Every structure is written in C-alpha cells, then in structure tokens.
C-alpha cells in the first residue's frame, strides 16, 4: 500500500510547475506563520525543500516570528543506525551539500527543536505521514528524549482516505496544507 501511495504522490509532485509549487508554498507558509505565533519563540526545525516539496523557508524572514530560532536536519550515522541531528540555521549561512545532495549548514551548531516541521509525501488526517521510505524522521523522533511538537507539511491533494500507519510510525501532532490546518491528536500542546 505504501509503495503505491508513494508513487501516486511523487507523480503529482512531478507534474507541478515551479510557479504552482511557489503559490502552494506561499499559502502553506501563511498558515504556518499563524500556527507558530501560538507558540512562544522557540527553535523550529525546518526542512530544505527537495523533490517538489513545499518551500516554507521564507517564514524565517517574517517579522511576526522575530525571536524564533531555526534549524535544518542533517543526516548522521551512529552505532545504532542513521538518524537526524538539527543544525542551527539562518538565511545568510554558508551551506554545503549533505546526504542526498540536500543543503545543510556548513558550520554546525547542534540544537534541539521544540517544534519540528516534517515534509510529507502523503498523509492521513489521523497524523500518519508517508515519507520516502528510509525512516529518518520516525527513527529520530522515537529516539528523542524530549519529543518536539510535530507539524506535517503537505499538499492537500496527497491526503489518503486509508490510514496506512504502522506500529513503528511516529504520528504527527498537526498537519498543514494549502487548504487547511488539521489538529490530529489530543496529546499536542
């Protein structure tokens, strides 16, 4: 089931033109700014958009979010397996290519996000997220001593009717698309 969902969602993304991605990203970013204003200034884990993902990086420049700090995920290895660490990030930082050729800060100052934005290839409104299948976010979230508030970022068209979550999947607290904001679980603050 997940393989088929991935293929369908990637086919949708591959059909998007750059101006469509930009328009959808602006709509998602506007809602994201509204959501983040409900939190005290904190560290927010962003993601660098690849493969047609929504680009929400412009939120860093919004005056309403003054005082927030930003971080980007960096793929790391450990004796227990691969996981993500989060490097402090600012728009003017020098970048280098990390794993999967995704840009990461060249100088890494590790931080722990209190809010984590998670890109979704597809999603279910119960909080299930479908990524590319490598398990980076699930593995990382399951190992974090203090779990951040998780916000899935997705295109509305990639919502699925069937809940595809499995026991090892880390469910998201919120989901945000260009059409709506979805509160997924009562455990979110």
pLDDT tens digit string along 51-65?
Answer: 999 999 999 999 999
Residue 65 CA to residue 33 CA, distance in Å, equals 7
CA–chain centroid gap for 55, Å, is 10
Cβ neighbors of 27 (< 8 A, separation 6 or more) are 178
pLDDT tens-digit readout, 69-105: 999 999 998 887 788 999 999 999 999 999 999 999 9
pLDDT of residue 62: 96
Tokens of 6: 């991935």
Per-residue pLDDT, averaged over 151-177, amounts to 92
Kindly state whether residue 42 falls inside one of the protein's structural domains.
yes
For the chain, the domain total comes to: 1
pLDDT of residue 167: 84
Kindly state whether residue 189 falls inside one of the protein's structural domains.
no
pTM, to two decimals = 0.93
Instruction: Please tell me what DSSP assigns to residue 130.
Output: E
Kindly state whether residue 171 falls inside one of the protein's structural domains.
yes
pLDDT of residue 178: 96
Higher pLDDT, 185 or 74: 74
Confidence bin at 121 (pLDDT 50/70/90): very high
Task: CATH number of the domain at 85, please.
Answer: 3.40.50.10420
Q: Is 187 exposed, middle or buried (0-12, 13-18, 19+ CB in 10 A)?
A: exposed
Place of tokens 């204003």: 37
Kindly state whether residue 161 falls inside one of the protein's structural domains.
yes
Confidence bin at 189 (pLDDT 50/70/90): very low
Kindly state whether residue 163 falls inside one of the protein's structural domains.
yes
Kindly state whether residue 28 falls inside one of the protein's structural domains.
yes
Kindly state whether residue 188 falls inside one of the protein's structural domains.
no
pLDDT of residue 32: 96
pLDDT tens-digit readout, 19-51: 999 999 999 999 999 999 999 999 999 999 999
Q: What percent of the chain shows pLDDT beyond 70?
A: 98
Kindly state whether residue 138 falls inside one of the protein's structural domains.
yes
Which residue range is the domain that position 68 belongs to? 2-183
Q: Per-residue pLDDT for 150 more than 80?
A: yes
Q: Per-residue pLDDT for 186 more than 70?
A: no
């Amino acid at each position: 089931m997940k393989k088929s969902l991935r293929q369908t969602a990637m086919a949708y993304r591959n059909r998007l033109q750059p101006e469509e991605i930009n328009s959808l990203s602006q709509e998602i970013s506007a809602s994201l700014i509204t959501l983040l204003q409900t939190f005290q200034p904190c560290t927010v884990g962003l993601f660098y958009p690849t493969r047609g993902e929504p680009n929400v990086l412009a939120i860093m420049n919004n005056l309403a979010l003054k005082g927030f700090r930003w971080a980007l995920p960096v793929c790391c290895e450990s004796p227990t397996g691969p996981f993500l660490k989060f490097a402090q990030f600012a728009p003017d930082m020098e970048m280098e290519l990390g794993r999967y050729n995704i840009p990461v800060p060249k100088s890494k100052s590790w931080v722990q996000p209190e809010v984590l934005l998670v890109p979704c290839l597809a999603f279910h409104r119960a909080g299930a997220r479908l990524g590319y299948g490598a398990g980076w976010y699930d593995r990382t979230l399951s190992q974090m001593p203090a779990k951040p508030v998780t916000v899935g970022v997705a295109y509305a068209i990639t919502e699925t009717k069937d809940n595809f979550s499995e026991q090892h999947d880390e469910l998201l607290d919120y989901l945000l698309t260009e059409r709506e904001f979805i509160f997924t679980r009562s455990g979110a603050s």
